[in-house]
């Protein structure tokens, strides 16, 4: 996978979640089919250091995955925010990455949204056109 399509309405919801949580990092899942994102699942960041790290609430994560399955969707991405930038993954982001899907990072400082496969760091293009 070298790109992901995130429709504008979902992109707006992602930014709303990110700015609503600032100065804490937000986290959520993206469900869809193939390269197309069709649903966004905001989760609670339960990291003890939410201003510089994220950890999704376990039960919410399971519920979101179950909701996706109920709609025949797959996990197609995981997003979190960097309230103070940069739009690149931190060392901890790479270390804790466990899923083989793009990790999206919303940099609130510059308004930049980027996606990567982790831990490799290969960048994935994020389009808005369906
Ligand atoms: Zn991060």
Distance 78 CA to ligand 1 centre (A): 11
Q: 3-state SS of the chain: helix, strand, coil percent to 5?
A: 25, 35, 40
Distance 105 CA to ligand 1 centre (A): 7
Distance 17 CA to ligand 1 centre (A): 15
Identify the active-site residue in 16, 25, 74, 123.
25
pLDDT digits (tens, 9 = 90+) for 34-47: 999 999 999 999 99
pLDDT digits (tens, 9 = 90+) for 84-125: 999 999 999 999 999 999 999 999 999 999 999 999 999 999
Fold observed for domain 3-127: Cytidine Deaminase; domain 2 (3.40.140)
- What are the Cα distances from residue 75, in Å, to 3, 23, 38, 48, 84? 15, 27, 10, 25, 27
Residues paired with 112 in a beta bridge: 107
């Amino acid at each position: 996978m070298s790109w992901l399509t995130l429709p504008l309405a979902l992109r707006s919801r992602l930014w709303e979640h990110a700015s609503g949580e600032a100065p804490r990092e937000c986290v959520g899942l993206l469900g869809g089919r193939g390269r197309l994102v069709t649903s966004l699942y905001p989760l609670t960041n339960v990291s003890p250091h939410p201003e510089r790290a994220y950890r999704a609430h376990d039960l919410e994560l399971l519920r979101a995955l179950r909701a996706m399955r109920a709609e025949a969707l797959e996990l197609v991405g995981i997003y979190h925010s960097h309230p103070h930038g940069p739009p690149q993954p931190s060392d901890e982001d790479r270390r804790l990455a466990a899923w083989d899907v793009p990790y999206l990072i919303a940099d609130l400082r510059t308004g930049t949204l980027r996606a990567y496969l982790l831990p490799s760091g290969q960048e994935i293009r994020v389009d808005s056109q369906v």
